[in-house]
Structure 1
Amino acid sequence: MKILSIQSSVAYGHAGNSSAVFPLQRLGHEVWPVYTVHFSNHTGYGQWKGVVFEPSTVADVISGIEERGVLPECDAVLSGYQGASAIGEVILDAVARVKDANPRAVYCADPVMGDVGRGFFVQPGIPEFIRDRVVPAADIVTPNQFELEFLTGSEIHSVADLLGAAQQLRSKGPETVLVTSVQTDETPADSVQMAVVTGKGAWSVTTPLLPLYVSGGGDATAAIFLAHVLSDGAAVALGRTADSVFSIIEATHEAGTRELQLVGAQEAIAHPRDRFEVTRLG
């Protein structure tokens, strides 16, 4: 596949495109990265240097790609943290251009807004922009449980709640909903789950919960899932994504670092071992 990935970037460590591009390449896909910011490191450190690109600059880069006449070859657009609604408008315009050039292309949106325990960490208005503009334009969305609850106005306590919220989100436009960081009343202790819901069914997978928080994990998850789902289908993609992402987190924990060990876990990205059982829901 050829994937236009519009995200942030960091020089040190892994977040945004600096987390998404390598896994996609390791899985054999060509990536056209467009940067919305370029920072020294991710903002979780509390200090960073760098620049936030003007929306017009991001749009110019996309226009330059379009002028090469290659948008008909683009199979997918991937986006993550958007920073400001003006950047979001540029991304949606890019999606429209790609789909006009290649109607078979898909848009995978990671609706980055917040997380349990942290709340929202984006600018005011961004959650509503994602809910009202981004989600209806997307074919695939990859919210965590906190984000899914906001996008649907639901509280998720059970698997039934989770499925209901995912189907509600699907009714707004996306065909496929991947929910990450799932912990319901039915999730086994010391575990975390992912679930995928499509028009063909719903599936979940459970992995051990390791005691660390890392930036860029969601970016890598969305990229790896996108790489698999278009060729392998949702259930297979879920299992392979869970295996690769757990391997990355496991390697990061063993290294005692706060930066994702993408390079160290690259074999698990390229050749997931399907260690975790995928269970059909509902």
Structure 2
Amino acid sequence: MQILSIQSAVAYGHAGNSAAVFPMQRIGVEVLPVYTVNFSNHTGYGAWRGPVMDPSDVADVITGVEERGGFDELDAVLSGYQGSEGIADVIIDAVARVKARRPESLYACDPVMGNAKSGCFVAPAIPDLLRDKVVPVADIITPNQFELGYLTGTSPDTITSTLASADAARAMGPATILVTSVERPDRPDNTIEMMAVNDHGAWIVQTPYLPLKANGSGDVTAALFTSHYARTRDAADALARTASSVYGLLEITHAAGSKELHLVEAQEHFAHPRMEFEALRVR
């Protein structure tokens, strides 16, 4: 399996491709990483160094991959943090060229824009570009609850309203929605959930809530779900595997008291997830 992954990179710590590539490789995916920014560290620190890549440079790298025959066996394109507003058109064009070569390939968009606690932390034009241009051409999107609400103009909080918001997102174009954080008021204490919705149904998985700010965990989640789904086309199985792996990663990171994800230490949770959390059908 091969995935073209277009997102940020950091030298210190793990976010974007610096979080997503290794877990995908550990489960047997050949990853072709393309960087939208090349930062010293993720922006959650409040200060960072390094360039935002010019869209033309990102496009050149993708074209070079195509010229080497790199599109011929792609199973999916994954995009994340875009850096600048011009990247949207580069991604859309790349997806169209990949699908012209391999119509069965998937495009998974992680619509990175912010979260409920921090608000939007991307360039001001990017959320609307994601909503109006990028999401409609995606097969899969992996928003958190805040991003799902922004994309659809809804307020997902209960299971029912989150399902309605996911359906609104599916009406925009993508067939499969992974909501990476469902924090409903009536859930059991100290838990958090993820939900997957597609034409075949809807499933929710619940894990213990760990009190840490884990920058990059959403990037790992999107990468693993995309990989598993591209391999099996089974949303419930992809959801259960992803939840088990990500919880194992967060558990190890929390135990270490680290600000940065312990990807290497958690690698067995990617390769051999414990499958301790069941994906329950909710529709």
TM-score range, shorter chain: over 0.9
Q: Given residue 277 of structure 1, which amino acid in structure 2 is its aligned partner?
A: E
Moved more, 65-74 or 30-39: 65-74
Q: Given residue 102 of structure 1, which amino acid in structure 2 is its aligned partner?
A: R
Partner of 1:78: 78
Q: Given residue 13 of structure 1, which amino acid in structure 2 is its aligned partner?
A: G
Contact 2:3 2:76 in 1 (8 A): yes
User: What's the CA shift for 1:139?
Assistant: 0.2
**Percent identity at matched positions?**
58
Rounded to whole Å, the distance in 1 between the matches of 2:273 and 2:172 is 32
TM alignment of 1:201-240, pairs within 5 A: 201-232=201-232, 233-240=234-241
The yes-or-no answer on 1:260 pairing with 2:261 is yes
TM-score by length of structure 1 reads 0.98
User: What's the CA shift for 1:120?
Assistant: 1.0
Rounded to whole Å, the distance in 1 between the matches of 2:227 and 2:186 is 29
User: What's the CA shift for 1:6?
Assistant: 0.6
Q: Given residue 205 of structure 1, which amino acid in structure 2 is its aligned partner?
A: V
The yes-or-no answer on 1:250 pairing with 2:220 is no
User: What's the CA shift for 1:223?
Assistant: 0.3
Partner of 1:20: 20
Contact 2:3 2:32 in 1 (8 A): yes
User: What's the CA shift for 1:186?
Assistant: 2.7
- Residues 157, 37 of structure 1: alpha-carbon distance in 2 compared, 3 angstrom cutoff: closer
User: What's the CA shift for 1:230?
Assistant: 2.0
Contact 1:6 1:34 in 2 (8 A): yes
User: What's the CA shift for 1:100?
Assistant: 0.9
CA offsets 1:221-273 (integer angstroms, 9 cap, x no match): 00010111122310011011000001111111011111001110000111001
Aligned residues: 282
CA offsets 1:7-55 (integer angstroms, 9 cap, x no match): 1101111000000000110000101001111111112122222111111
Contact 1:159 1:186 in 2 (8 A): no
Contact 2:84 2:126 in 1 (8 A): yes
Moved more, 80-89 or 190-199: 80-89
Partner of 1:199: 199
User: What's the CA shift for 1:185?
Assistant: 2.4
The yes-or-no answer on 1:280 pairing with 2:281 is yes
Rounded to whole Å, the distance in 2 between the matches of 1:120 and 1:28 is 33
Contact 2:75 2:230 in 1 (8 A): no
Q: Given residue 153 of structure 2, which amino acid in structure 1 is its aligned partner?
A: G
User: What's the CA shift for 1:142?
Assistant: 0.2
> Where does structure 1 differ by over 2 angstroms across 4 or more consecutive aligned residues?
none
Moved more, 35-44 or 101-110: 35-44
CA offsets 1:157-183 (integer angstroms, 9 cap, x no match): 321101111011111111100001111
CA offsets 1:106-148 (integer angstroms, 9 cap, x no match): 1000001110111111111211110111111100000000011
Rounded to whole Å, the distance in 2 between the matches of 1:41 and 1:183 is 28
Q: Partner of 2:28: helix, strand, or coil?
A: coil
CA offsets 1:77-131 (integer angstroms, 9 cap, x no match): 0000112220111111111111111111110000011101111111112111101
Rounded to whole Å, the distance in 1 between the matches of 2:226 and 2:157 is 27
Rounded to whole Å, the distance in 2 between the matches of 1:67 and 1:7 is 20
The yes-or-no answer on 1:114 pairing with 2:114 is yes
Q: Given residue 125 of structure 1, which amino acid in structure 2 is its aligned partner?
A: A
Q: Partner of 2:78: helix, strand, or coil?
A: strand
Rounded to whole Å, the distance in 2 between the matches of 1:150 and 1:235 is 25
Rounded to whole Å, the distance in 1 between the matches of 2:126 and 2:120 is 10
TM alignment of 1:1-282, pairs within 5 A: 1-232=1-232, 233-282=234-283
Rounded to whole Å, the distance in 2 between the matches of 1:219 and 1:125 is 21
Rounded to whole Å, the distance in 2 between the matches of 1:55 and 1:123 is 14
Structure 1 gaps of 5+ residues are none
Structure 2 gaps of 5+ residues are none
Contact 1:114 1:121 in 2 (8 A): yes
Rounded to whole Å, the distance in 2 between the matches of 1:242 and 1:157 is 19
Rounded to whole Å, the distance in 2 between the matches of 1:72 and 1:78 is 16
Q: Given residue 194 of structure 2, which amino acid in structure 1 is its aligned partner?
A: M
